[in-house]
Amino acid sequence: MDRDREGIRTSKTQSKLKNPIEKNRIGKRSPSKKGGEAPFESIHLQWKRFLQGLPPEGPLRNVILESWRRSRADGIDPAPSQLSPRRITEDDLQARLDTNRELVDIAALHLDWISSSLAQILHAVFLVDRDGIVLYATGNDSRMRESFHVEPGYDWSERKMGTNAVGTALAGNQAIAVSGPEHFIQLFHHYACTGVPIHANGQVVGAIGIGTPVADGHPERMILTSHTAYVIEQELMHRQTASQAESIKAEAMMLLSNSLDYKTILSIIARLVVPRLADWCIIDMVEENQLIVRCAVAHADPSKSTLAHDLRHQSLNPDVPYGAPRVTRTGRSELYPEISDLAKKEGASDERHFRLIQQMNAISGMVVPIPGRGRVMGAITFISAESGRRYNRVDLALAEDLARRAGLAIENAQLYRAAQEEIAERKRTQEALRRSEERFRQVSESGIVSLAFFDLTGRITDANDAFLKMIDFTREELLEGKVRWDQLTPPEWMERTRQAVQEFKTRGRCTPYEKEYFRKDGTRFWGLFGGAMLESGAEGVAFVVDITERKRAEAALRNSREQLQAILDNTTAVVYLMSIDHRFMMVNRQFERLFDLKKAEVDGKSIDDLFPKEVADAFRANNENVLEAEHALEFEEEVPLVDGVHVYLSMKVPLFDQTGKPYAICGISSDITDRKRMEETLRQKTREAEEASRAKSQFVSIISHELRTPLNAIIGYSGLLKRPEFTERPGKRSEMNDRIYYNAHILLELINNLLNLNRMEAGQMPVEAETVFLADVVGGIVENLRPMGEEKGLKVAFINEDGPLPIHSDSKKIEQIVTNLISNAIKFTDHGAVTVRLSDRSAEQRAVIEVSDTGIGIGEGDLPRLFEPFYQADPSDTRSYEGTGLGLSIVKKFTELLGGTVRVASTLGAGATFTLSLPYERKPPS
């Protein structure tokens, strides 16, 4: 505000100095150019002419036109009419004086001082409220006060050309001086007037005006008016702040004294200062872990509830260099008369927090610590936004006082809460003690537990009826001192009793233990003893529970377990007990023998500790199945042992507790490895028998087919030869004889193959080794079989690039092998070629014969069984290709007999290649 006023004063002063007319106003009036006419009278005449529609003339033309533009731009009516303020009623005036009493008191004091300082010149000074109504006026220029109604109750809000500096200052919210050539007062009444608005809490509450003769219209009048308005504002602010502070303090004291909950206290503080002292109030508290937690957010604008919610739940970075985090670290208040963008940015904990701060539209702020005993408990942040308030040191002092009161109230609340908790705890303790004593008395009198009081000498000083009944003594005998611990204790238990006494002395209590006691008649019983010394330390209380029956039951159970363990240890089955989390609880001796482990090494171990992962996983799955089924199940389980993997038949049974929940699994496992092997052998024999039966059936089917075909031909042709008509046709008879011979040759070949196969199976096939020139043998076979291929339109080729290739082997068997391979190639090839290639593998000392065709090929599933006797890819009677299924079987057996190998490579529909490899020197198979 001071800077704004200073700018206005400067600009107004400069405009005065630039105006040529003003030079004559500061000093004496200059003589008239026409008959002593004053300059302002000339301006007056020119101005009136201009308003009547006549253009201005002479050197004043530009001055008058510029004045007109300024007036219109400022919203001032440039018509030079007489100011006619209206007067309000006396009641309205009195109401306004009451409402603005503090402003009037302060302004009157300062306006009277100004009036006394201006006593040497004519003047009028006055105060108007925000509506322009004069509330106070003084001065020694009665003519001006009467002419212009500078009296309380008159309305000076009218804004006309040159008539009302105060009204113009109110309307424009800025200082103004009526001193230009366009101002009516100076032109017609020889007065200059300055007006300056007065602000409080960012709002215009009134204005002051100072009027003086034109000849005395120095620029210092504007400075004086502005300064006076500023002083009034400051004193008004201080008074209002002080009054507000006292009000807030009094209200805070009353509200805070009525609450002992610190969260309620924080909420009270936040609501108390908004909107009287701030538009936003934020309270942050420091937790024990030094984290800053936002506890309260209050705001004046109801439309910003969402923003307040987001601020309430914003997490804070305790290390930022501005705001509450810094104040909680340093313990010193911070005042921000103007909140800069840098402070907003640096005071934000993150980008989201920065955006929230920007939405607050904060103008001014202050942050004060909430002091505690030797520490800072938190911080209160005051933000001015919509109100436009600028905080100063006075406001900061009030905020610090509120924070101190809040801190004191919080500490009182914490002390009260601690005291209340202590009182409540004491009451709970007393009530618990009372209930405990009541329960102890009831237990003692009920006889449920045997109780006895004793001293450290061993004398039993008191006991309940249950204890006396247990040891078979009377209360009279107890009172006579005839009942002592040492008399009730057998000799072998005296040392343990002395240890218990020592424990009473050193620890004030005795850990319960079991021992035997004497009754009055000398019989024994088992008791569970325990006790503690009373607060006096000279006497203690003990309980004794008769556990004789339990001991007997334990002995019986122990005997039963020993008998059961003996049975389990002498069985050949593996027996074990396992918890539901798959840990061993008990195993028998057979388990120990199998896995070479002792019981102590197994107890508590899981199946994962003792077995490989895949075995443990299988065991676990079986156990889970048993627990889920809730009844016995049988499994076959594989267990790795030293001599290999054994198969066990395991019966697993879930065990249930009294509530019906499973707590263990009992397993009984028997080794069935030999049985499984026998079963597998039997299955294998069964498969072999079934395969033999199948092979036999297939053999009979194939042989019958292969025998029936040539026999039918022989029988048919023989019958034809007996007919008379063929006796006279020798050519026809010769053809039929040839066919009979051909079919007889087929029968002979079939029989020979069967005999050869049988001899090889029996190991009676001889080998007649000699020097064999493979090129001659293979080439001759190709030449003999080429016509058969050419009949089908096939190209039969023989390729030999390595010479005669002599080897030492059986030529007859080589001939049969090669013949069978080439015949098969021609039989299963309908178009294309059959190629026979002979090659020398000297590095391997072998000769290789390859027979390739472009025929139907062999399926992948048929390749493994291709060399089996009687095997055919198509075993049906309607198959496209005839044959016994013995050819390739004989090829393989003859090849192995000669020490060679035969391999086949084929793709269905793309032909086949048989590779025969024979050694240079035949070696009999091992």
Percent of the chain with pLDDT over 70: 78
Which residues are paired to 771 by β-bridges?
Answer: 808
User: What is the residue-averaged pLDDT of the chain?
Assistant: 79
Residue 13 domain-assigned?
A: no
The pLDDT tens digits of the residues spanning 693-718 come to 776 666 666 666 566 667 777 777 77
pLDDT(194) > 60: yes
- Asked whether 490 and 524 are in contact (CB, 8 A), the reply is yes
Which of 420-424, 799-803, 904-908 comes out lowest in average pLDDT?
A: 420-424
**Phi, psi (deg, nearest 5) at residue 532:** -155, 155
Considering the domain boundaries, does residue 31 fall inside one? no
What is the pLDDT at residue 862?
76
**Residue 667 half-sphere exposure, CB side, CA atoms within 13 Å?**
30
pLDDT of residue 281: 92
Side chain identity, residue 227: H
Q: Domain of 194: which CATH number?
A: 3.30.450.40
Residue 507 shares a structural domain with residue 611: no
Q: Is the pLDDT of residue 9 over 60?
A: no
- Cβ partners under 8 Å of residue 638, min gap 6: 615, 618, 645, 646, 647, 648
Read off the pLDDT of residues 821-836 as tens digits, 9 standing for 90 and up.
988 888 889 889 999 9
Which of 49-58, 79-88, 234-243, 883-892 has the weakest average pLDDT? 79-88
pLDDT-derived band at 73, boundaries 50, 70, 90: low
Of 367, 384, 419, the residue that ends a domain is 419
Residue 327 above 70 pLDDT? yes
pLDDT of residue 834: 92
546 and 608 assigned to the same domain? no
Judgement on whether residues 894 and 915 belong to the same structural domain of the protein: yes
Question: What is the DSSP-derived secondary structure letter of residue 187?
Answer: I
896 touches 835 (CB < 8 A): no
* Rg (alpha carbons) of the chain, rounded to whole number: 64
**Higher-confidence residue: 425 or 248?**
425
Compute the distance between CA of residue 854 and CA of residue 828 in angstroms, rounded to an integer.
9
pLDDT for 890 equals 81
What is the C-alpha separation between 846 and 837, in angstroms, rounded?
14
pLDDT value for 443: 67
What is the pLDDT, as a whole number, of residue 45?
A: 66
Which of 289-293, 351-355, 688-692, 850-854 is least confident?
Answer: 688-692
- 107 Cβ neighbours under 8 A, 6+ residues apart: 127, 135, 136, 198, 206, 208, 232
Q: How far apart are CA 248 and CA 241, in angstroms?
A: 10
DSSP H helices in 480-547:
485-488, 494-507
Residue 85 confidence (pLDDT) above 80: no
- Residue bearing the bigger pLDDT, 25 or 842: 842
What are the distances in angstroms from CA 367 to CA 267, 325, 337, 406, 498?
17, 10, 11, 14, 72
- Pick the closest to residue 794 from 831, 822, 820 (CA basis): 831
d(CA 423, CA 337): 48
Instruction: Answer yes or no: is 440 within a domain.
Output: no
**Does any domain span residue 39?**
no
Q: SS in 3 state form for 769-835?
A: CEEEEHHHHHHHHHHHHHHHHHHCCCEEEEEECCCCCEEEECHHHHHHHHHHHHHHHHHCCCCCEEE
Encoding tokens for residue 552? Answer: 């007997």
3-class DSSP state for residue 723?
A: coil
Query: Do 911 and 827 belong to one domain?
Result: yes
Which residue has tokens 């503690």? 532
Return phi, psi of residue 128, to 5°: -120, 155
Q: What is the pLDDT of residue 753?
A: 67
With respect to residue 710, please indicate whether it lies within any of the assigned structural domains: yes
| Mean pLDDT of the region 393-418 | 81
Are residues 269 and 236 part of one domain? no
Residue 513: pLDDT band with limits 50, 70, 90: very high
320 located within any domain: yes
- The number of folded domains in the chain is 5
pLDDT higher than threshold 70 for residue 24: no
Domain boundary among 209, 241, 273: 241
Same structural domain for residues 126 and 215? yes
Task: Give the residue, 250 or 95, on which the prediction is more confident.
Answer: 95
> Is 775 found in the same domain as 756?
no
CB 166 within 8 A of CB 186: no
Examine the domain organization and report whether 581 and 542 are in the same domain.
no
User: Does position 37 have pLDDT exceeding 60, yes or no?
Assistant: no
Report which of residues 879 and 428 the model is more confident about.
Answer: 428
Q: Which residues contact residue 555 at a Cβ distance below 8 angstroms, ignoring those fewer than 6 apart?
A: none
- 357-386 mean pLDDT: 91
Q: Which has the closest alpha carbon to 714: 676, 735, 742?
A: 742
Q: Answer yes or no: is pLDDT of 751 > 80.
A: no
In a shared domain, residues 606 and 700: yes
Among 28-32, 362-366, 423-427, 714-718, the minimum mean pLDDT is found in 28-32
In this prediction, residues 483-500 reach a mean pLDDT of 91
Domain limits for position 269: 259-419
Helices (runs of H) and strands (runs of E) counted in the chain: 30, 27
State pLDDT tens for residues 201-260.
778 899 998 888 764 445 677 788 888 888 888 888 777 666 666 666 666 566 555 555
- On whether both 745 and 829 belong to a single domain, the answer is no
pTM of the model: 0.35
User: The tokens 């050694």 sit on which residue?
Assistant: 919
Residues 736, 600 share a domain = yes
Return the pLDDT at 127.
Answer: 94
Other beta carbons within 10 angstroms of residue 876's beta carbon come to 8
Q: Which residue has the tokens 């329960």?
A: 439
For residue 438, being part of any structural domain is answered with no
Residue 5 pLDDT: 38
- Is 250 inside a domain boundary? no
| CATH number, position 619 | 3.30.450.20
Whether residues 694 and 610 share a domain: the answer is: yes
Q: Which of 184, 215, 241 is the last residue of a domain?
A: 241
Beta-strand relationship, 450-455 and 539-546: antiparallel
Which candidate, 855, 858, 869, 837, places its Cα nearest to that of 906?
A: 858
Q: Which residue type is seen at 894?
A: F
352 pLDDT tier (thresholds 50, 70, 90): very high
pLDDT tens track for 541-599: 898 988 899 888 888 888 887 887 788 778 888 888 899 999 998 888 888 888 888 88
Torsion, CA 674, CA 676, CA 682, CA 687, rounded to 10: -140
